[in-house]
Amino acid sequence: MTSSRFLLLSLLLCLLPVCLSCPALCRCFSRRAEVVCDSTPFDSFPSDSLPQNTSILTIQFTNISTITETHLNRTPNLQELHLFSNQIQNLGPHLLRGLPKLRSLDLTDNKLTNLPANVFSHAPLESLVLKNNQIEIAGEDWLSENSTLTWLDLSGNRLTKIPGSLFGKLPNLDNLDLPNNRLEKVTERSLDALTKLERLNLNNNKIDTLDSTVFQKNLNLTHLFISRNKLQKLPQGLFRNLVNLQHLNLEENQLQTMAPGSLDSLVSLEEEGLDLAGNPWTCDGKIEYLWRWMNKNKSRVFLPDTVKCAAPPALIGRSVVSLTQSEIKAAA
C-alpha cells in the first residue's frame, strides 16, 4: 500500500467512533457514542476532549459546580445528558442552545436553587429530571411555549406551590413527579393544562385540602399518588372524571370518613389499586359507604385488613371490612 493510500485510509478511519478521543478518567463506548465520567477529581467540565459524535454523556459523582452553553458546544449530537450527584449550583442561560437533538436531561442530586430564564428552552426535551435539589420556585420562563416535555420530575426540592404557570407550557406532559416537597395545597386550576397527564405523584407533602375540581381536566390519569399528606377529608366529586384511574394511593393521611359516592366513578381501578391504610378512620354511621364499597370491591383494595378504625373506642383496631352493619349502627 502506498503512503498516500495509507494516509487516506487512516483519515477515513478517524472519521469513525473508534478513532475518537476519550477524556482522561472517563470511559468511552464508541459503538453507542457514549461517554461516562464518574471520578471525584473532576472539578471542571471536560468539554475540550469529548468526542464530537457523543450522543449519551454521563458525568456523575464529581466536583463540577457550573455548566454553561460553552461547555456543551463540542457535542451537538447529544441526545441524553446525565449530570447526577455532582456539585452543580449554577446553570448558564441558554444552556441547551446548540443541542438540537437533546431529548433527556437529568440533574438529580445537585445543589440547584434559582435557574435562569430560558435555561431549558432551546432543545426538544422530552424528559427533565431535577430531583433532589434545593429549588423553591419552578419558573414559568424555564421552557418555551408548547414544550415537547412528556416527563418532569421536581421531587425532593423545596416547592411550596404548584407551578401552574409552568404547567401551562406543557401540553404534552404525561408524567409529573412532585413528591417530597413542601406543597400545602393544589389550587383549583393549576393542573388544567395537563390534559395528557397519566401519572401524578404528590406523595409526602403537606397538602391538607383539595378542591373538588382540581382533577377535572386530567381525564387520562391512570396513576395518582397522594400518600403521606395531611388530607382530613376528600370533597365529593373529586374523582368524578377519573374513569381511567387504575391506581390511587391515599395512604397515611388524616382521613376519617369517605363521602357517599366518592369512589363510584373509579371503574378502572385494578386489583389492589386503592391504598387507604394508615388513616384514622372513624367507624360510626358515616363509615357505612366506605364499608359497603370495600366489601363489594375488596380485591381492588391493597391489604384491606390494614384499613382500620381509630374510633370509636369499642372498635379501635378493627378493620373496616370486618365490621357488621349492627356495629356501625350502634356506633352512629
pLDDT given for residue 120 in this prediction: 96
Note whether residue 182 is domain-resident: no
pLDDT given for residue 54 in this prediction: 96
Dihedral over alpha carbons 48, 49, 51, 55 (to 10 degrees): -70
pLDDT given for residue 13 in this prediction: 36
Q: 236-268 burial string, b = 16+ CB within 10 Å, else e?
A: eebbbbbeebbbbbbbbbebbbbeeebbeebee
Q: Which residue has the cell 463540577?
A: 64
Residue pLDDT, tens place only, 117-137: 999 999 999 999 999 999 999
Q: Report the C-alpha gap between 271 and 293 in whole angstroms.
A: 14
Note whether residue 78 is domain-resident: yes
Residue pLDDT, tens place only, 28-39: 998 999 999 987
Note whether residue 220 is domain-resident: no
pLDDT given for residue 315 in this prediction: 96
Note whether residue 227 is domain-resident: no
Q: Report the C-alpha gap between 199 and 152 in whole angstroms.
A: 11
Residue pLDDT, tens place only, 235-266: 999 999 999 999 999 999 999 999 999 999 99
Give me the residues paired with residue 225 across strands: 201, 249
Amino acid at 305: D
Q: Average pLDDT, stretch 319-331?
A: 91
Note whether residue 264 is domain-resident: no
| Grid coordinates given for 244 | 381511567
DSSP-assigned states of every residue in 127-150: EEE--SS--S---TTSS-TT----
Residue pLDDT, tens place only, 2-51: 444 433 433 343 344 434 579 888 999 989 999 999 877 788 888 888 99
Note whether residue 147 is domain-resident: no
pLDDT given for residue 329 in this prediction: 87
- Number of structural domains found in the chain: 1
pLDDT interval class at 75 (50, 70, 90): very high
Residue 28 lies in domain: 20-95+102-107
Q: 153-175 burial string, b = 16+ CB within 10 Å, else e?
A: bbbbbebebbbbebbebbeebbb
**What ranges in the chain are assigned the alpha helix state H?**
3-13, 69-72, 164-167, 288-296, 325-331
Note whether residue 133 is domain-resident: no
Q: Average pLDDT, stretch 53-64?
A: 95
Asked if the model's pLDDT at residue 305 lies above 60, the reply is: yes
What CATH code is carried by the domain that includes residue 73?
3.80.10.10
Amino acid at 238: L
Note whether residue 28 is domain-resident: yes
Instruction: Reduce the secondary structure of 36-65 to three states and give it as a string.
Output: EECCCCCCCCCHHHCCCCCCEEEECCCCCC
pLDDT given for residue 20 in this prediction: 55
The region that residue 191 occupies, defined by phi over 0 for left and psi between -120 and 50 for alpha, beta otherwise, is: alpha
> Are the beta carbons of 32 and 57 closer than 8 angstroms?
no
Q: Average pLDDT, stretch 177-184?
A: 97
